[in-house]
Structure 1
């Protein structure tokens, strides 16, 4: 394993310093004395064992014999005794192996804990909380400015304290006693100066007696527990509680101990004169508080229990419990045990045996880490160096960095080298792959006969196929001069795009991936069966988040762009990238634009293709509220329709109005942040234009659906839902057949709109004789279809998508080349991907890269000693997860801010001198801390997000008042416009040490919208307010941290949710097996009613496709309008229906044998055809007074893949609901999720 770098060591030191700060904040491990309003129950939130509370029970009614009604005899003893809550416990379960015949084992137990004791604040503290000016306060009768006629109670009310989140001050400290609001001893209240009320009697100014809390840390070592192996519970309580209660009694024997009020004292108020001197204060205290106080004892139990497991092994449980029963009367003590820790030393005659997981054969690589020391309750169990076991309430897990594996004989994979001559590098990689395959074969021989032999064979076969495909790709490159040139130009484009950056090479898996898929591009021209067969596979790129998946498929896309131009495809879409969510595409949009601009410049300089070929451009096909569908109309969001926006341009207001609607703000040409949104009034276009004087270029970006149809950009980025556009827009047929016409000013189109192009008659009057025919596009079907974040294609989204993918495959087979697109997918979290790929795409499933035969090492990567991210677990005691997450995020933000301003910050971090390359300077430390300024609070509901945002606002105000400047924050939810998300990303990317710190974006709060596609090097502190519902979601979210620098992920678990308590108890094993915890994606395209929902849309898409063919005599303007469609349908119904019946089965069943179950496919086809014949065919035939063809169907075709019927509501009784929530962990905070 490669050694840890110095940079990584320094960053780990920062993370460790932050961890210690959180430990101090959450467990008060620095201890000391805390002045009011600090309360232990509000601030010490881990490792807490609270006393048992008495719960009152409702009285039992005695039913009268005659009336059947409850008797009202007050003397009848029908009330049950009060119920006592369960004891709060912390425990360790572990396995031991005693000697044969042994009946007991001796366990040595160390218990560390803290108790908090309340003291009277000294005179200085009393004066501080009273206020610096108290000596100047006089009785109201002596105040010349006082208004003796003021209304009663107008000025004598206590100051109102704001309710605050945990850790930033308690909720209002006042409580009601006998109808009067009073404050407890620790309430921080300034003097209450009363004025003359009725009768004009003077009142003496008063203040309150303040208290403080002192932590008493106790270590109870070498406690002996004799644990019988017969199953009896052994309890140790006397010696344990004696030490604790001795400390409590000693405290209350001291005069500074806070004691209860005397019986004749109603509240803890006292005259201000009591603060004149020590003697005056002592005298007042003696008059207010009882002289002697017998404190309540704090009772702890240490218990041990052993259970036989067979094979001479026993499961032992050691538990520390707080069995104190909290008195029903109010007391002034805190009877909780805080920051509890247990250490168990094993009996030498019965050693603790690590517990081993039973692994399935496909996880044979994990055998070396498949053990745990034990399991904790309300803690995490960890082994000790002496063979014992201990509890940990703030566990950490370090995830290591994997890096591209270095093979002898493979030179650096530099873009410039590959642009010059790729074959020496490719030949070297092929030779290394052959060597690795021989290593695989050797391991297979060594493990012959083992349970995992078949898994090894499968792994060997997968890698052998990768070698075959790579060799095929290299051969195709050598045999196709155009493809070789395209590959070299793509590498040159990446070299240009990344000039000035710290990297100039591919990672090994990226280059192997690109070359292995070169045959997918060659298949558009080649007739070689092996090459063509690659189109029958759906390939998923499976690599950890942040590992470079996006760049890998971008490299293939750019190669495809050049190849299309070189083979004569002068226009049209070459690659279609799809994302499940619109927010996912923001950063990818910027990345793609940068490399696309470089590629287009090269194409122009090298005269690739013909002079009149369309330039490379990018289309953003999202529509709806994100971007306009049609420019003429209001999209219901920021776009108000063409005419109104033109008026904004002429008034000079357009750019300002739409400043936040820009998808791109930084110019990909000159890199200046100078992009504005503008209109091209002649060509009816929405532009992103650079305003830099030395640049001034228009970005090759089309952001409306209409413009994508009109200009057919080489790369289209869209959401998955836009596949329903095949139903709603006949212009989608350009993606399979190309356009019919071309307007000289407004681009391509298929079906005229009132005799003219897509912009309409108002902007483009009809041309006599019609617009000229468009030049036929060679192979208009996109060569590549790339589905990113494939794991999100699940449930109804995956099922609906699967049906529409079948439609698209059928439409593409009817295109000029007869070839479908190559299906590629990418994900960081997949398991059992085969079924998902088969159902969604109907092609043979395949994953890349193979996983090798060693843990942490494959042909492509190896594990280093560098740390990628540190996971930290927090299980709060009786606290809302959102409140504690707010505490954690604000503590991280405050800690870094104060450390940056600390002149002794280098000494504070305690970074060893050897971890620096030289003598560190202030600038070195500033840069180190700069990478830890940005934190993200991830929440599962907007309500929780509001809590975090509120607490960050409080912190910002506090930092400002302390002279540290404000904390700039931003909340990102699904309702945030795309430009706002892009702006937040860009701010973090562009901020530097030169940017004034108050202007730097340093805190984010986000929902699932930030869980994908937000890749920021400086986002290294991540706080999770509870666990996401799946391990895949957890992996995706936590991957936002630690992409370049060591990241810290602090997860606040929900203590009220059984699932999250279990995940915390298994913290170490969960993170060790994180990838294995991912569950299969649920997709069922065969669900009974799915075909009913998709059939109308698929049928209408087929109508649009048939309207392109002269043989069907369709109206020239297509069949979008109901009157045009019904006239066409009624005239040619027999031939149209015959073709529909022929093509529907091809849409619902895939043409590649052996992919899906034939019986399931047959049943699905029968349901779809039956729906057509029995319902929809008759519905569209009946005369109807509707304007659009989509309205003719019984069920309106899907607008998107989330258009499912609204679920029927039903309710449960409160008890059942609470039980369900407790078991599932849902809505445990009584808030939306």
Structure 2
């Protein structure tokens, strides 16, 4: 390493500098270039007034074909007779006492000259200073056809001023762009007399009434200001004191460095010490200082309220009350550890398993990354204060199910990459341990069954988190195997419950796991239904190939064995009790009831279709030693024959398991819109199925926790989804930058992620993307060659983010051709070695087979330039959540995403390492008004990024949602609550007067009263009509009625209650969703040609 080797943040800043030089220029103040400057540079050009864009630029759209959820149409500027930009400007407000302002205008002109060596263009810098009188609108002529114009508008006690730099040259009609008449690299700087700060904060025009979030934002972001808005440019400012600043300046390629929010740290939170604590008092000694420090911080925050503006006092007081309530709940959790031995032991179990998870997970990841293995993992793990605080906060709600905390949804609101997953994995381990210790409750077994459900929205997120959660479950099972007297004889396992596109639903059959494995053994590729979902052992990191997966034909289940003989989960003879404790096939999940179930939210649409799903809620009634647990819907012989002379294996009746104790909803912000609405409706059934009777007959619901990094109006969303109240953790106090548990770091101590805006009016999006990708890729390769991967690798792989598949489809061809050609030109201009790039395997979208995703994620982890590494990855919103590849540091966003939450989540995929801060370049589309607005307000938008997160909508009992799915919810509850109504042949047994039917009606009514009381009468009427329809179908068809069609019968004559939504079926049955993403009905389009 040389003495002058830069750090990663300096590499990042050099990329920004090179990007500006290439897109705007100049390389030197008096440069001389061979290309026309309007060709050399992309943006920052003021053209002669009235110059129309060329057709080739106007009509060239990026993207072809494809379909995607993000492909919704959007308002765009009409292209007809669109002009090249001839002006930039800014608008701002000054106090009415301000009489004059000082304006400095800078721009460059290029003069053409010819010589024997060819045509060249020489730059001339022009700088002019003007004093404007702020009492009337006026203008002044500048050099080379430029003009400075300003308009003045008095309003109450302020004056609104707009200043513009305009190119007033006239270009001859019909000719190409005359570079002699253009102004390049324009800038306007506005100041007052020395020491004055005349520019006032632009107050928002209004707020939504009764919006508590906006009230809180007034307090939390009181130091974030907007002093000006740009016109065809962005604006920066400086010398800020209170609500005024001393200067303003236009900005062609703006950038903003976001402060990194990091969790705080404290001594004494080592997992090993908490796991080995001999007494509850030892736990208190370690955790009490955290609670005391938080209490002191709250007092300090409260003391500062008097220094705030009086209108903010009530808001601040409310915030402090929430902080104290949070502290009280944490103290209650700590007291429980002192008073209940089982809770204390479960807490130690959680710490021990999390220590193993952290240690073995790091050990395995290191082996996967470098290919060599240390002899054993280093046992080390420490809680971040917010993680252990969140666990203490929820102990009472989990351990004492009849307290009010049980009914609260605790929402872990923390920036991406902060460690939310470890917090709820710790709670998962505690819940599993406590249930095993307590055993049977009110006739329900606690030694097995689904204990925790984790729900996600995207398959990529689910499969990625599955690996981390699987390591925790391996740790739990590791401890159980060594102490079955304490933790039970039932294995602790994890299940992955996702669509058939990812994993097979069954063992047997043409689409089953057995046939899929045979194809994989023979070297064939599977595009869907691949049982090989784990590519490495979660315990030791050893590679898992198809041969690591096998079918136990006797037990009819799939076994996964680590091929490394020394591994705890190596099972040479396919013994389930020694294998990796994972269940990936739906049939296995129903029969062996995984302790932790990871599922996609839309998988719960299977409830009305698959009565065996009742096993997920503990409703089992028999146990087969070979085939696992059976429900009332399972047809199974009473015994199995054995070898000659031996008694048959009996199938024994068994008590049900307790239903799930804990539901974890990750990335809550994604459960919105149509998906959120249907999820909220199906949640009616899930909630009821999870209820168990408590003492004195009180219904015990599961504890629900959720997590997100971006949400607004959480109370409304949680009420719509779960019919519960919500509490955010950590609660805000007085400032968005400090919640005690996380603080924004000063940039001079910790560089943050940099955001850069590129806006090229008059140029096609294709041209802009080619120019941006090419310079970043070429310079990234140069920096890697000069300084090596330890500082430059983060900026070697470029992640391209697109709002739709249509746009991404066009970019794929650009990477293959246009970008490569541009890079060749850059290498010549820069006199540097050309970087060779590959477009192979560079897509991560919903159209990629599930089987390819693990490979792509593994390729992303490879150091740039090594075999198999990726130069470019083009992705849609599939990457915006859950993808955690620490080495990624460079992203280009094509157009402002429709939601700020999506923008935050997507761009947070890069720069997750503290020593390699990310770089995000947004290429704005000048034909979209929203993109223009975000560019012109670039600085204030990014300065208070989380403030701009939009509220989400969840309306589960809206009329269209009820029409689409209410019948499915009623049928699901009926089939899964009443044993002899479950089987497909039992559809006619439904009795509207039975207590179960009455309970279904009452549960829906109670939920509507909480979620949407205004629709109560309409819902009552619709349920009545549903029951009448079911009764009439039963009376007419009697025992011939079925719930659903037999998939092995092609005849459509059998009367059924429900049929797949994509099919047509006569006879009064109702189309029913197989996935909660199937929201819109299909329409057919017929084209008729007429002569």
TM score, norm. by length of structure 2: 0.82
**Match status 1:46 vs 2:43:** yes
**Match status 1:802 vs 2:660:** no
Please say if residues 199 and 247 of structure 2, whose CA atoms lie closer than 8 Å, have aligned partners that are also in contact: no
1:841 CA drift (Å): 0.6
Please say if residues 631 and 706 of structure 1, whose CA atoms lie closer than 8 Å, have aligned partners that are also in contact: yes
Structure 2 counterparts to residues 275-424 of structure 1, below 5 A? 299-311=145-157, 313-330=158-175, 333-334=178-179, 335-346=181-192, 352-357=198-203, 361-366=215-220, 369-383=223-237, 387-406=246-265, 411-421=267-277, 422-424=283-285
What does residue 293 of structure 1 align with? Answer: none
14-23 or 212-221: bigger deviation: 212-221
**Match status 1:1172 vs 2:1065:** no
**Match status 1:620 vs 2:502:** no
What does residue 320 of structure 2 align with? Answer: 460
What does residue 258 of structure 1 align with? Answer: none
Please say if residues 882 and 1025 of structure 1, whose CA atoms lie closer than 8 Å, have aligned partners that are also in contact: no
Please say if residues 1056 and 1069 of structure 2, whose CA atoms lie closer than 8 Å, have aligned partners that are also in contact: no
Partner Cα distance (2:556, 2:233) in 1: 64
Indicate the SS of the match to 1:108: strand
Q: Quickly say closer, same or farther: Cα 1:351–1:1025, change in 2 above 3 A.
A: same
What does residue 589 of structure 1 align with? Answer: 466
Partner Cα distance (1:228, 1:670) in 2: 72
Partner Cα distance (1:657, 1:393) in 2: 46
Partner Cα distance (2:1080, 2:849) in 1: 26
Indicate the SS of the match to 1:583: helix
Which sections of structure 2, spanning at least 5 residues, go unmatched?
Answer: 54-79, 208-213, 240-244, 278-282, 364-377, 440-445, 572-578, 1042-1052, 1060-1066, 1087-1091
Partner Cα distance (2:517, 2:458) in 1: 31
1:356 CA drift (Å): 4.2
834-843 or 945-954: bigger deviation: 945-954
**Match status 1:972 vs 2:844:** yes
What does residue 1201 of structure 1 align with? Answer: 1076
1:643 CA drift (Å): 6.4
Higher relative CO (CA 8 A, sep ≥ 6), structure 1 or 2? 2
Structure 2 counterparts to residues 721-1120 of structure 1, below 5 A? 721-751=602-632, 754-756=635-637, 772-779=651-658, 781-813=659-691, 818-865=699-746, 866-902=750-786, 905=787, 925-954=788-817, 964-967=835-838, 970-989=842-861, 991-992=862-863, 997-1044=866-913, 1045-1108=916-979, 1114=980, 1118-1120=982-984
1:681 CA drift (Å): 4.0
1:653 CA drift (Å): 4.5
1:18 to 15, 23, 29: 15
Please say if residues 520 and 822 of structure 1, whose CA atoms lie closer than 8 Å, have aligned partners that are also in contact: yes
Q: Quickly say closer, same or farther: Cα 1:1011–1:570, change in 2 above 3 A.
A: same
Residues 342-365 of structure 1, C-alpha deviation per residue, up to 9 Å, x if partnerless?
223435699632324359642344
What does residue 609 of structure 1 align with? Answer: 486
The Cα RMSD (Å) is 3.6
Q: Quickly say closer, same or farther: Cα 1:301–1:573, change in 2 above 3 A.
A: same
Partner Cα distance (2:121, 2:1007) in 1: 73
**Match status 1:483 vs 2:359:** no
**Match status 1:236 vs 2:231:** no
Partner Cα distance (2:844, 2:935) in 1: 27
Q: Quickly say closer, same or farther: Cα 1:661–1:1067, change in 2 above 3 A.
A: farther
1:218 CA drift (Å): 1.9
Partner Cα distance (1:756, 1:1188) in 2: 27
Please say if residues 1120 and 1188 of structure 1, whose CA atoms lie closer than 8 Å, have aligned partners that are also in contact: no
Q: Quickly say closer, same or farther: Cα 1:509–1:54, change in 2 above 3 A.
A: closer
1005-1014 or 892-901: bigger deviation: 892-901
Indicate the SS of the match to 2:848: coil
1:769 CA drift (Å): 9.5
1:671 to 541, 553, 563: 541
Partner Cα distance (2:874, 2:437) in 1: 47
Please say if residues 117 and 333 of structure 1, whose CA atoms lie closer than 8 Å, have aligned partners that are also in contact: no
Partner Cα distance (1:318, 1:352) in 2: 15
**Match status 1:632 vs 2:489:** no
Q: Quickly say closer, same or farther: Cα 1:1193–1:1043, change in 2 above 3 A.
A: farther
Partner Cα distance (1:84, 1:648) in 2: 57
Partner Cα distance (1:106, 1:862) in 2: 39
Q: Quickly say closer, same or farther: Cα 1:306–1:616, change in 2 above 3 A.
A: same
Residues 217-260 of structure 1, C-alpha deviation per residue, up to 9 Å, x if partnerless?
422232x2544613x3x2223x422xxxxxxxxxxxxxxxxxxx
Residues 460-514 of structure 1, C-alpha deviation per residue, up to 9 Å, x if partnerless?
1111111111111111222222221121122122222323679721111111001
Structure number with greater Rg is 1
Partner Cα distance (2:311, 2:1084) in 1: 49
Partner Cα distance (1:473, 1:804) in 2: 32
Please say if residues 806 and 1149 of structure 1, whose CA atoms lie closer than 8 Å, have aligned partners that are also in contact: no
Indicate the SS of the match to 2:690: helix
**Match status 1:439 vs 2:300:** yes
What does residue 273 of structure 1 align with? Answer: none
Please say if residues 675 and 691 of structure 1, whose CA atoms lie closer than 8 Å, have aligned partners that are also in contact: no
Residues 266-286 of structure 1, C-alpha deviation per residue, up to 9 Å, x if partnerless?
xxxxxxxxxxxxxxxxxxxxx
Partner Cα distance (2:149, 2:993) in 1: 83
Q: Quickly say closer, same or farther: Cα 1:722–1:236, change in 2 above 3 A.
A: same
Partner Cα distance (1:587, 1:506) in 2: 22
1:885 CA drift (Å): 3.0
Please say if residues 674 and 692 of structure 1, whose CA atoms lie closer than 8 Å, have aligned partners that are also in contact: no
Q: Quickly say closer, same or farther: Cα 1:347–1:763, change in 2 above 3 A.
A: farther
Structure 2 counterparts to residues 653-692 of structure 1, below 5 A? 653=523, 662-676=532-546, 678-682=549-553, 683-692=555-564
Q: Quickly say closer, same or farther: Cα 1:120–1:488, change in 2 above 3 A.
A: farther
**Match status 1:96 vs 2:94:** yes
Please say if residues 264 and 740 of structure 2, whose CA atoms lie closer than 8 Å, have aligned partners that are also in contact: yes
Q: Quickly say closer, same or farther: Cα 1:401–1:432, change in 2 above 3 A.
A: same
1:675 CA drift (Å): 3.9
1:901 CA drift (Å): 2.0
Structure 2 counterparts to residues 106-185 of structure 1, below 5 A? 107-115=102-110, 117=112, 119=114, 122=117
Please say if residues 465 and 882 of structure 2, whose CA atoms lie closer than 8 Å, have aligned partners that are also in contact: yes
1:1177 CA drift (Å): 3.6
Structure 2 counterparts to residues 474-513 of structure 1, below 5 A? 474-499=334-359, 504-513=381-390
Partner Cα distance (2:177, 2:711) in 1: 55
1:1140 to 980, 997, 1004: 997
Residues 36-91 of structure 1, C-alpha deviation per residue, up to 9 Å, x if partnerless?
7x5543441221212234679xxxxxxxxxxxxxxxxxxxxxxxxx9995862100
Please say if residues 1057 and 1070 of structure 2, whose CA atoms lie closer than 8 Å, have aligned partners that are also in contact: no
Partner Cα distance (2:114, 2:804) in 1: 41
Partner Cα distance (1:845, 1:7) in 2: 52
1:404 CA drift (Å): 2.7
1:403 CA drift (Å): 2.5
1:1170 CA drift (Å): 3.0
Q: Quickly say closer, same or farther: Cα 1:1134–1:353, change in 2 above 3 A.
A: closer
